[in-house]
Amino acid sequence: MKYKYVKDLTSDVMFEAYGKDLKEVFENAAHAMFETICHDVEPKDKREVTVRADSVEELLFAWLQELIAMVDIEEMFFSKFEILSIENNELKANVYGETTAPEKGETVVKAVTNYGYKFEKTNEGYKVTVSLDI
Amino acid sequence: MKDQLKKLNDNEWILPKSVREGMKVDGKIIASEKMLEAIENEAVEQLTNVAMLPGIIEPVIGLPDMHWGYGLPMGAVSAFDAKEGIISAGLCGFDINCGINLIRTNLTKPELEPKIKELVPELFNKIPCGVGSKGKLRLSNEDLDKVLIDGCEWAVKNGYGTEEDLKNMEEHGKMSGADPSKVSEMAKKRGKPQLGTLGAGNHFLEIQEVTDIYDQEKAKEWGIKKGQVLIMLHCGSRGFGHQVASDYLKIQEKAVEKYNIKLPDKQLACAPVTSQEGKDYFAAMKCAVNYSFTNRLVMTQWIRESFENVFDKKWQEMDMQTVAGICHNAVKLEEHTVNGEKKEIYVHRKGATRAFPGQPVLIAGSMGTCSYLLVGTEKAMELTFGSSAHGAGRAMSRHQAIKSFQGNDIQKSLADKGIISKATNPKVLAEEAPGAYKDVDEVIRSTHNAGISLKVARMIPLGVIKG
């Protein structure tokens, strides 16, 4: 399983994303978040992303925040995430998507929040629990 | 925790500080018994967390429409001392200055009815709405800075709205002391393409009819009559405000460590009001407040243009003036009487409306139900730091609502009630289905009977535009 939505709160949603390695958990968390934001998005255009943080736990949080901001700034929805490297708490990725259109939009995600945020090493790899304020 | 509430009277409940170790002050909930039943225990518990923060002033307030939110419920007010207190991005909310503008017309329902099927799509096309809609304005860096500093004064200079509009808006559409240098580049990049966009979620544009007047004198003063058509616009500071809030939550998490603030919940990240981090947040938050005020006034002008196109009259002839423009999520430095002494305090309203005596208060119902215009009172100054409720308050999560309702069914049931609706995605109608919200009439009864704001007029929707 790549991810699943686990809890509903009145103005938040919470998902868990999994990965056998760091790259996979970062990719799957992005997929989970974009399921809330949009649908049927073709990976037509590429954007390059670099994100830095103080720890890998914070890096995942920052990666998702960066993608939320990119929806507004690039006016694009994303559907494919290619993590190129995660080294020394710096992530480089190519993300693919297409120009935004209201018919492909679902919900505005205002922010990633600290509510229940967890980044865990498991026997199978990694698991992250994320809440989105919507 | 809810079982520890002590009834003070039919609409006031005290949560004594003795219920939990570390609480510095009591909590207070303004709600009828019926309304209280709908409030989650977790939301009540969140009030106790806030009661532990430094410089908190008694009491922490929960309003009738309160429901669980990030750190503090939506529908809550917390006030802090201007010397010993803190300021918090989480206690203000992510959508800074989410709020409502109410615009009047001199049209009546019979005049509107033959045109409404033309008007709703016209508005829908004129106002960018929905996730992924594109704004029509593309601000330069210089113009964005002017919006952040001058708020609606920028709008008026650029042909959106008039001086008359500013008179009836909270802060006259501009909070002074906004400093764009305290706002991240990321927030500015998000803000530039989105000015003049409605957004999605619970944001809406509604055409309404006044069905009842409760306070003739006040209604007359504000130009409101029974049978009149009004327009209600609910939206916020868009990605700009969300980014300011996210940026400062991070900064304030660090400030908590730096200033050794003991937090019962990490979500309550904050900074001392006198610290650089605290001052910077206040200056950045004001930018988002001004952005949002401007956003609503820009769209007000487009609403006027849409009416001009459909009714073939100038908007001035239709008396399309702003009745009120109010904020829901904001921190304000205000003078209040605390323990018999007048002092300036930082009032955080999260999902709450300012209700100063004589000022307009707008409480929006859920989609398809009625909304109210009220007036603020002295009682609100005594009880709630001059605050009132802001809406019906969610009873059901957005996901649960999508599972429980079908957008097309909702559209049909609105049509059966004579309400024309248009949304970018039927799911939005399901998310915002009236059944996902509490009963706005009960919220109004609680606020009116508690005396924190008094009813002036009731409106029902005739047309709804959702993002």
**Of the candidate ranges B61-65, B326-330, B372-376, B404-408, the one whose mean pLDDT is the lowest:** B404-408
Question: How far apart are alpha carbons B289 and B99 in whole angstroms?
Answer: 10
Is B190 in contact with A10 (Cβ distance < 8 A)? no
Question: How far apart are alpha carbons B194 and A67 in whole angstroms?
Answer: 17
Determine the pLDDT at residue B400. Answer: 82
Nearest CA in chain A to B69: A11
Residues of B with CB below 8 A from A11's CB?
67-70, 74, 394, 397-398
Is A69 in contact with B134 (Cβ distance < 8 A)? no
Is A106 in contact with B425 (Cβ distance < 8 A)? yes
Question: How far apart are alpha carbons B222 and B25 in whole angstroms?
Answer: 39
Is B69 in contact with A11 (Cβ distance < 8 A)? yes
A55 part of contact set with chain B, CB < 8 Å:
no
Find which of A70, A114, A130 to mutate to test the B interface (most B CBs within 10 Å of its CB): A114
Whether the CB-CB separation of B410 and B422 falls below 8 Å is answered with no
A104 part of contact set with chain B, CB < 8 Å:
yes
Residues of A with CB below 8 A from B188's CB?
none
Nearest CA in chain B to A131: B70
The dihedrals phi and psi of A123, each to the nearest 5 degrees, come to -60, -30
Please determine, for residue B322, whether its predicted confidence score (pLDDT) is greater than 70.
yes
β-strands B360-363, B371-376 pairing? antiparallel
C-alpha triplet B409, B415, B420: angle, nearest 5°: 115
A37 part of contact set with chain B, CB < 8 Å:
yes
- Note the pLDDT tens digit of each residue in B84-102: 999 999 999 999 999 999 9
Is A105 in contact with B425 (Cβ distance < 8 A)? yes
Determine the pLDDT at residue A118. Answer: 95
Residues of B with CB below 8 A from A104's CB?
132
Determine the pLDDT at residue B362. Answer: 97
With tokens 């509430």, the residue in question is B5
Is B424 in contact with A103 (Cβ distance < 8 A)? yes
Distance from CA of B125 to the nearest CA of A (A): 12
Closest CA to B270 of B352, B331, B181: B331
**B279-283, long-range: CB < 8 A, 24+ apart:** B280/B179, B280/B182, B280/B248, B280/B251, B281/B87, B281/B89, B281/B182, B281/B248, B281/B251, B281/B252, B282/B87, B282/B177, B282/B331, B282/B333, B283/B177, B283/B178, B283/B179, B283/B182
- In this complex, which of B132, B239, B249 lies closest to A38 when CB atoms are compared? B132
Q: Which two tokens stand for residue B212?
A: 């009842």
Q: Is B390 a catalytic residue?
A: yes
Q: What is the rounded average pLDDT of the residues B381-387?
A: 98
Q: Which residues of chain A, if any, have pLDDT below 70? A: 8-11
Find which of A5, A10, A70 to mutate to test the B interface (most B CBs within 10 Å of its CB): A10
Q: What is the rounded average pLDDT of the residues B323-333?
A: 97
Q: What is the rounded average pLDDT of the residues B122-146?
A: 92
Is A11 in contact with B199 (Cβ distance < 8 A)? no
A50 part of contact set with chain B, CB < 8 Å:
no
Question: How far apart are alpha carbons A28 and B223 in whole angstroms?
Answer: 55
- In this complex, which of B267, B431, B467 lies closest to A114 when CB atoms are compared? B267
Please, which pLDDT band fits residue B70 given cuts at 50, 70 and 90?
Answer: confident
Please determine, for residue B360, whether its predicted confidence score (pLDDT) is greater than 70.
yes
In terms of pTM, does the model score above 0.80? Answer: yes
Determine the pLDDT at residue A11. Answer: 66
- Note the pLDDT tens digit of each residue in B405-439: 888 888 888 899 889 988 887 788 888 888 888 88
Residues of A with CB below 8 A from B189's CB?
69, 72-73
Please, which pLDDT band fits residue B372 given cuts at 50, 70 and 90?
Answer: very high
A54 part of contact set with chain B, CB < 8 Å:
no
- In this complex, which of B67, B193, B246 lies closest to A10 when CB atoms are compared? B67
Q: What is the rounded average pLDDT of the residues B250-275?
A: 95
- In this complex, which of B95, B242, B397 lies closest to A9 when CB atoms are compared? B397
Determine the pLDDT at residue A64. Answer: 98
Find which of A58, A100, A108, A134 to mutate to test the B interface (most B CBs within 10 Å of its CB): A108
Question: How far apart are alpha carbons A8 and B436 in whole angstroms?
Answer: 13
What value does the mean pLDDT of chain B take? 95
- In this complex, which of A69, A107, A115 lies closest to B239 when CB atoms are compared? A69
Nearest CA in chain A to B245: A111
Please determine, for residue B299, whether its predicted confidence score (pLDDT) is greater than 70.
yes
Determine the pLDDT at residue A103. Answer: 87
- Assembly ipTM: 0.92
Determine the pLDDT at residue B399. Answer: 77
Is B70 in contact with A102 (Cβ distance < 8 A)? no
Domains and CATH numbers, chain B: 2-395+437-466 (3.90.1860.10)
Share of chain B above pLDDT 90, in %: 83
Distance from CA of A126 to the nearest CA of B (A): 23
The HSE-up count of residue B136 (CA atoms within 13 Å, CB side) is 11
A6 part of contact set with chain B, CB < 8 Å:
no
Residues of B with CB below 8 A from A116's CB?
none
Give the number of A-B residue pairs with CB atoms closer than 8 Å. Answer: 115
Determine the pLDDT at residue A10. Answer: 66
With tokens 């009004």, the residue in question is B230
Distance from CA of A124 to the nearest CA of B (A): 29
- In this complex, which of A68, A101, A108 lies closest to B200 when CB atoms are compared? A108
Determine the pLDDT at residue B201. Answer: 81
Is B67 in contact with A38 (Cβ distance < 8 A)? no
Q: Determine the angle formed by the axes of helices B141-150 and B276-311, rounding to 10 degrees.
A: 100
